[in-house]
Amino acid sequence: MFVPRMYREPEPQWIQELVRRNPLALLLTNGDDREGPFGTHLPVIIETDPAAQSSPDLTGTTLLGHMNRANPQWKALCAGIPAVLSFAGPHGYVSPTLYPSVPAAPTWNYTAAQLRGVLEPIESEEETLSVVRATAGALETEFGNGWDMTDSMDHFRRILPGVGAFRFTVTRSAAIFKLSQEQNRETQGRVCRHFQEAAGGQPEVAEYMSRLTESN
C-alpha cells in the first residue's frame, strides 16, 4: 500500500480505530494459475482477548472472520497462507469549486487500512461457532439495537457446516488518511465544512479532517 508521508496516520491507534469502525474487509489471497487471486468481502473483528493484542497499530494482533465454505477462496486456504485484509473508511469527492483559484483538479478524500498477515483456517466446529458468536456480538454491540442471540443458537448450529472461520495474525499494517493535507488551512476548512453539510453528506470525513487539524 503506497502512502505518501503527508497522508500517514498521526497516531498508530488511528489504524485500530478505522478497522473497528469499518469491519467489512476485503480478504485477498493468491490462487493457482487457473483461478488467479481471490477476494471476498466479509466482516472481520479484532479478537477481544487482551493478551492477543500487542500494538496500537494491530501488528501482532489476531483478527477473526468467517465465510461460506462453498466459496472457492475458502477451499484454497491452508494453514500459514499469507493474506491481506483491506478496510475502506470514510471517503468523499472533493470538487474544484471548493478551491479558491483555478486551474485546479478534482480529487477524492479517503481513509483506508491494509493489514498483511498469516491466515489459519479453523476446522473445529466449536471454535467456528465461537467465532460466529463473537462476530455477531461485536457487531451488534457496535452497530445494532441490543439483539440477544440466545434464542438463535440452534439456528447457528444448523448453519455451522456451511461456515468457514479463520484467524488472521497481523504481521504488518499501513493506513492512509488523505484529507486535503496538501491544501492550506483555509481551503482545508472549506472542504471540511462541505463534508459537514448536507451537500457533502460525509460527516465522518469531516470528523477525521477536524481531528487531523487538532493533532498538528
- How confident is the chain (216 residues) per 10-residue block, as mean pLDDT? 95 95 97 85 88 78 97 95 97 95 93 98 96 96 95 96 97 97 95 88 94 84
Q: Classify residue 43: in a domain, yes or no.
A: yes
The grid coordinates of residue 205 equal: 470525513
Q: Classify residue 200: in a domain, yes or no.
A: no
Q: Classify residue 196: in a domain, yes or no.
A: no
Q: Classify residue 50: in a domain, yes or no.
A: yes
Query: Torsion-angle region of residue 36: left (phi > 0), alpha (psi -120 to 50) or beta?
Result: left
Question: Residue 214's pLDDT is what?
Answer: 83
Q: Classify residue 53: in a domain, yes or no.
A: yes
For the chain, how many structural domains are there in total?
1
Q: What share of the chain is helix, strand, coil (3-state, %, to 5)?
A: 35, 30, 30
CATH of the domain at 32: 2.30.110.10
Q: Classify residue 20: in a domain, yes or no.
A: yes
Could you list the residue range(s) of the whole structural domain that residue 105 is in?
5-184
Closest CA to 113 of 180, 188, 15: 15
Q: Classify residue 132: in a domain, yes or no.
A: yes
Q: Classify residue 209: in a domain, yes or no.
A: no
Question: Residue 176's pLDDT is what?
Answer: 98
Question: Residue 38's pLDDT is what?
Answer: 96
